Chain A
């Protein structure tokens, strides 16, 4: 008895202590805030020393670009090579007429996916043409083709290496983590400084964003090959090369196909951001439309991007799916696969030649354009007028009730108090090491002289994360416990996760106009699907035996959720929080495009206005630091206390032994 009490009590005290510590920290912080408010604040100044110094760096680079050997012999040639590639692909695509491209895309879908997909692909591309965005779509396609080709060329070999070599994986994982939590925004300015505005910068920016999944998924695919299969090959005397060629690559083929598909999707999702550094195409159309608050035009371009995403997704998804059967049914017809592929090839060739002969030109006939921008604008105006009361109430309610108080606390407290509080939270929920990282990140933000804007951004992030987690957990638990809800939410989540992020800005913008609330709403819509999915999977993953045991013990529905499912899904909840924070930050920053001010706006204006370059770069670094800080606070908590199943280990061998004897 005493033994049990001795082992149980300290753990109980510890877990109670953690919540208590957080509460105590909160109370202390508030008391200190009341006493010290207004002291030690760091108001924003547009002409701070850091910004001016960074402007100076830019001037130095501009002055030395044509003489410094690093630029002349390393960076220059890289830029020239990518620009050259861009030129080649552009001229190839423009030599094929629009008819030819339709035929090639349709033929690819027919030969490798299905005739239904072929129709869908052709229909989508026709729709893009009718919307009057053919030329822009081609420009976007060139950017994607180049950045995806380079991403895969570098990413797949690195992924294979990471899949086979633990040391390399350990080395590259933190780099990939960093590439992925770093908002794209952050590295655009330095890129344009080095590679100037143009295809090279856009391609490299896209590559930085799209390559990590290619490496990760390829590595996962290689690691997903069962150890026993590799061991079996080794036991038969396979060399390293034979294991790779004959076992690992063939088995991982589908996963690597998924890597290709994901890389394309990632590339597509940042074309709008690439447009901020003047990459031409659909992204540019959206940016221009948003800047002029032309909702209809923005939505039109958004639709074109979604259609293009669908086309690319459908054509490449087949690479990760099962291969086509040898005989394919088209309605009542039975066509051998080989025949179908010959037909597809014929369609492509005829289309290309026919288009060239008919001299249809690279662009879609302007006479067929259909504009949907005007009716959309009218509809939005009607919604705005009709629901103005409701949307204003919501906007003002959240602003006055949540945003303003939090922002006041964060911006009018002494900076060191905020840092101490953040480090304290990190120390309590994670570890002392995390607390140190958090404190260092925040001190660097202070030194960059972007404190006030960073606190404004942080406010939006906190509010968005709270809303996201509240909605996400409710929906996730509901979906996990109810088949119908899950069946309804799954496809919506799937679709939502393949849409490029800025698409979410558009409806929010239509309803709430250019304010920080728009950014918050977009961030919530953007991150909820991922959170719902993680929570649902986590709750579903709770062992049925435990559920059964709790039911047998008479747990009510609420008790089941509160005392069994949520605590046991703790790891998933923490991962979901971490994911939610990363996604929210990316979107809140993007909100700088639609009036959300703060760091995001500083970055955007840094691209367009020369004298704000320094402020833009400092803000970009500030965003990265905020990301690191938020990631550290929410990450790793899952590893701290893991519940281990002891039961499973006992007597497995004995039981099966007995079973075989009985047999």
Chain B
């Protein structure tokens, strides 16, 4: 009997081989159970994970909650991976499990093929000091130290000399745009400035991966927008791999190369921003993306139709990855369909009316087709 296996949503983990192209972080079957049930489960099962049914039964019988339930995903080198969910969805627990600030109950976490769950406390500290760094919603700055000493704190912990760490901290100060603030105390700074200190502290150790736990949720909307742009800039300049936690869908779509939506500890959907908007996996995601202007997220690929012989050949030409919003101007100036090209080849056309409908927010799911 032959069955056609569906292609996996994400590539399988490159076990033990940090080969080029392998994921930076690979998470497989991660569970975090809080409460009495956790001890019962781990005592009974040892390291091998019991089935989801067994775990849920244990939680029912002995009390507790499943904060993270059977989560698997890959983070590719240099990308911004956003985990999005409402409060209580388990996203903050998940990010803490990655460096074992919270000890996971079951599952595997690999960093460049190294099994984090098997790391000794010593090794774990080493990883936290050099390869991971974290930015927190409430900043977590030391109130009794000045800005510069706060930025240098991680370097101090790993034993760098005072001269080295202060020089490095001073560089970071410039990088996040806090020149002249070195001698201030954290409580003399605005929320946005404090989080810049948090960013600088995380960057100071030159980590490979940055974990950002709702870094901008405590900030005013305007400051938040500035800080999002700051992260985009830093990511562009430094190419750090980032895992970014947020409850704000707009933020997730703006920053993420991939976005993972969580609900009640489970993954609802993983995909590129436009995939979420165009093809929500279920009503939950659909509900979320309803208010997102599709024309700001979707590319022409999602709205084009196959070209046919009758189409005029002198319409405006755009690459297939162009965001719909960008072609409005051109579409308004002509009555001809827009020609969509990929690698120099015509791959489809978009009718003007279709673009306007999408912009007006009337485009329903039937009209948004899958990419070819």
Contact = CB atoms under 8 A, between A and B. Distances in A.
Given A236-B128, A661-B250, A229 B157 contact: no
Given A236-B154, A251-B144, A657 B247 contact: yes
A237 B248 contact: no
Interface in B94-117: 96, 99, 101
A556 interface: no
Contacts of A247: 142
B244 to A, nearest CB: 15
A242 B142 contact: no
B233 interface: no
Interface residues of B, number: 44
Nearest to A235: B134
Given A251-B142, A660-B248, A237 B221 contact: no
Contact of A663 (B99, B133, B221, B247): B221
A236 B221 contact: no
A656 B225 contact: no
B136 A653 contact: no
A226 B138 contact: yes
A234 B128 CA distance: 8
Contacts of B141: 229, 232
A237 B142 CA distance: 15
Given A226-B138, A235-B134, A236-B129, A660 B154 contact: no
A336 interface: no
B251 A653 contact: no
Given A229-B142, A660-B251, A663-B221, A237 B134 contact: no
Most chain B Cβ neighbours within 10 Å, of A226, A229, A657: A657
B205 interface: yes
A657 B134 contact: no
B86 interface: yes
Contacts of B126: 237
A659 interface: yes
B291 interface: yes
Contact of B101 (A231, A239, A250, A661): A231
Contacts of B138: 226, 228
Contacts of B291: 661
A251 B134 CA distance: 21
A653 B222 contact: no
B132 interface: yes
A235 B128 CA distance: 6
Contacts, number: 97
B139 A653 contact: no
A333 interface: no
Contacts of A242: 157
B20 to A, nearest CB: 28
A390 interface: no
Contacts of A232: 134, 136, 139-141, 198, 201
B144 A237 contact: no
A660 B143 CA distance: 29
Interface string A643-663: 000000000111011011111
Given A228-B136, A228-B140, A656-B247, A235 B224 contact: no
A319 B134 CA distance: 34
Contacts of B224: 660, 663
A236 B205 contact: yes
B166 to A, nearest CB: 16
Interface in B128-166: 128-130, 132-134, 136-145, 153-154, 156-158
B125 interface: yes
A238 interface: yes
A231 B140 contact: yes
A423 B32 CA distance: 45
Shortest beta-carbon contacts, A-B, top 9: A232-B140, A663-B221, A237-B129, A237-B128, A653-B86, A235-B134, A236-B154, A228-B140, A237-B125
Interface of A: 226, 228-229, 231-239, 242, 246-247, 250-251, 253, 652-654, 656-657, 659-663
Given A229-B140, A236-B128, A656-B248, 17 more contacts: A228-B136, A229-B141, A232-B136, A233-B153, A235-B133, A235-B136, A236-B201, A237-B125, A237-B157, A238-B125, A246-B156, A251-B142, A251-B143, A657-B247, A660-B221, A661-B291, A662-B221
